């Protein structure tokens, strides 16, 4: 690619197509027609005299040359955004849209209760919240700017900031515990096990606390693909569950659920904040990261520090 006269608007169109995964998605983000976005990318390819994208129906895939240019665009646009930050002074620096992703149960149970002070402190930041079981895809496509997740992503383009531990608890309703006479882990063999998956990989946090040969055997397993669904099922005496402890604080407080085997220390996950490394120095990213790091969630929700 020699003697290029690259147009910034064409580069923005190309970059947004890649981030959105399609021309139609880029058109929505840029508030332009799909044909205008397609025309801009085609002119960029004509100028570069190489094909940057392979069109696969409605989706697109980067060519090798396209990948090189996309990496450069990511650096360029992040630098421009950071420069715009630096030109602003005082509170005006905290301005613009900020999209924070989180896992569904954590977002519903914890984030919604604790994000208001940040929103009140920075009224010029347009905060949007996105809850999903899959946060990596929207993070890489920049549908979200930062994401709180307990999955450990090892990607060089992402910056990971540890936040806090996620503790788990085995529980059931008081009547279920009495009916099934649950006193020891071996008693689970006569219980219904509530799990996110039929193979009980969800229960690894409990099972791995025992040597392989002495791991408890489970009875019937009911797969429920949502934590809140499992909680409601357990509260209705359908079976025994394992969930993040913060997610059932209300049920425990009201006696709807009771903990089982509290002396057994379960395997913990670690929540972390993820963001594109190229954007980590943006002012609005820094202030949100600092706010989340300063939250004392162990005092608010039973999460470990």
Mean pLDDT rounded to a whole number for the chain? 88
Instruction: Give the pLDDT mean for 95-105.
Output: 90
Residues 206 and 226 in one domain: yes
Query: Per-residue confidence at 1, pLDDT binned at 50, 70, 90?
Result: very low
Q: What element of type H or E holds 175?
A: helix 174-180
Q: 172, 258 in Cβ contact below 8 A?
A: yes
Q: Would you call 60 helix, strand, or coil by DSSP?
A: strand
Residues 285 and 158 in one domain: yes
In the chain, what percentage of residues exceed pLDDT 70? 93
Residues 192 and 225 in one domain: yes
pLDDT for residue 180 is more than 80: yes
Answer yes or no: is 99 within a domain: yes
Answer yes or no: is 233 within a domain: yes
Answer yes or no: is 147 within a domain: yes
Answer yes or no: is 2 within a domain: no
Residue positions counted in the chain: 305
| Residue 188, CA distances (Å) to 207, 219, 220, 224, 291 in order | 12, 7, 10, 18, 41
CA atoms within 13 A on the CB side of 84: 12
270 has which bridge partners? 165
Q: Which residues contact residue 304 at a Cβ distance below 8 angstroms, ignoring those fewer than 6 apart?
A: 164, 165, 166, 167, 268, 298
Residues 144 and 176 in one domain: no
pLDDT of residue 149: 94
Answer yes or no: is 122 within a domain: yes
pLDDT for residue 296 is more than 60: yes
> Could you give the CA distance from residue 42 to residue 38 in angstroms, rounded to a whole number?
6
Answer yes or no: is 156 within a domain: yes
Check which CATH number belongs to the domain holding 25 and give it. 1.10.10.10
Residues 274 and 160 in one domain: yes
Closest CA to 90 of 60, 124, 62, 58: 124
pLDDT for residue 297 is more than 60: yes
Q: In which domain, by residue range, is 152 found?
A: 91-165+269-301
Global confidence as pTM: 0.71
Residues 158 and 189 in one domain: no
Query: Per-residue confidence at 259, pLDDT binned at 50, 70, 90?
Result: very high
Last residue of a domain, one of 61, 87, 113: 87
Q: Which residues contact residue 6 at a Cβ distance below 8 angstroms, ignoring those fewer than 6 apart?
A: 44, 47, 48
Residues 145 and 183 in one domain: no
Strand ranges for 9-91 from DSSP E: 53-56, 59-62
Residues 157 and 196 in one domain: no
Last residue of a domain, one of 31, 53, 87: 87
pLDDT of residue 55: 85
Residues 13 and 83 in one domain: yes
pLDDT of residue 304: 56
Q: 284, 206 in Cβ contact below 8 A?
A: no
Residues 192 and 253 in one domain: yes
pLDDT digits (tens, 9 = 90+) for 62-84: 898 988 898 888 888 877 877 77
Least confident span in 17-26, 31-40, 143-152, 240-249 = 17-26
Q: Record the tokens describing residue 193, joined without a space.
A: 């096990």
Q: What element of type H or E holds 125?
A: strand 125-131
Answer yes or no: is 174 within a domain: yes
CA atoms within 13 A on the CB side of 61: 3
Residues 55 and 197 in one domain: no
Q: Which residue has the higher pLDDT, 257 or 157?
A: 257
Q: Which residue has the higher pLDDT, 159 or 105?
A: 159
Q: Which residue has the higher pLDDT, 90 or 237?
A: 237
Number of domains comprising the chain:
3
Q: Which residues contact residue 218 at a Cβ distance below 8 angstroms, ignoring those fewer than 6 apart?
A: 188, 189, 191, 193, 200, 203
Residues 64 and 114 in one domain: no
pLDDT of residue 184: 94
Check which CATH number belongs to the domain holding 137 and give it. 3.40.190.10
Answer yes or no: is 106 within a domain: yes
């Amino acid at each position: 690619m020699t003697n290029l006269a690259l147009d910034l608007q064409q580069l923005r169109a190309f970059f947004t197509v890649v981030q959105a995964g399609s021309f139609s998605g880029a058109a929505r983000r840029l508030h332009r027609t799909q044909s205008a976005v397609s025309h801009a990318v085609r002119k960029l390819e004509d100028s570069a005299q190489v094909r940057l994208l392979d069109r696969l129906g409605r989706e697109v895939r980067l060519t090798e040359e396209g990948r090189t240019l996309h990496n450069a665009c990511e650096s360029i646009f992040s630098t421009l955004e950071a420069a715009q930050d630096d030109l602003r002074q005082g509170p005006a620096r905290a301005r613009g849209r900020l999209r924070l992703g989180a896992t569904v149960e954590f977002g519903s149970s914890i984030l919604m209760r604790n994000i208001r002070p940040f929103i009140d402190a920075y009224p010029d930041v347009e905060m949007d919240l996105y809850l999903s079981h899959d946060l990596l895809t929207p993070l890489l496509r920049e549908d979200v700017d930062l994401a709180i997740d307990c999955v450990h992503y090892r990607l060089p383009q992402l910056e990971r900031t540890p936040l806090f531990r996620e503790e788990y608890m085995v529980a059931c309703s008081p009547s279920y515990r009495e009916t099934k006479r649950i006193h020891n882990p071996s008693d689970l063999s006569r219980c219904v096990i509530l799990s996110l998956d039929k193979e009980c990989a969800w229960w690894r946090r409990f099972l791995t606390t025992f040597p392989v040969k002495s791991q408890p055997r489970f009875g019937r397993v009911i797969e429920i693909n949502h934590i809140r669904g499992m909680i409601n099922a357990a509260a209705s005496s359908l079976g025994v569950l394992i969930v993040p402890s913060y997610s059932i604080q209300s049920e425990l407080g009201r006696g709807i659920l009771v903990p089982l085997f509290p002396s057994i220390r379960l395997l913990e996950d670690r929540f972390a904040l993820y963001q594109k490394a190229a954007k980590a120095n943006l002012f609005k990213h820094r202030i949100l990261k600092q706010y989340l790091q300063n939250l004392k969630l162990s005092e608010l929700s039973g999460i470990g520090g």
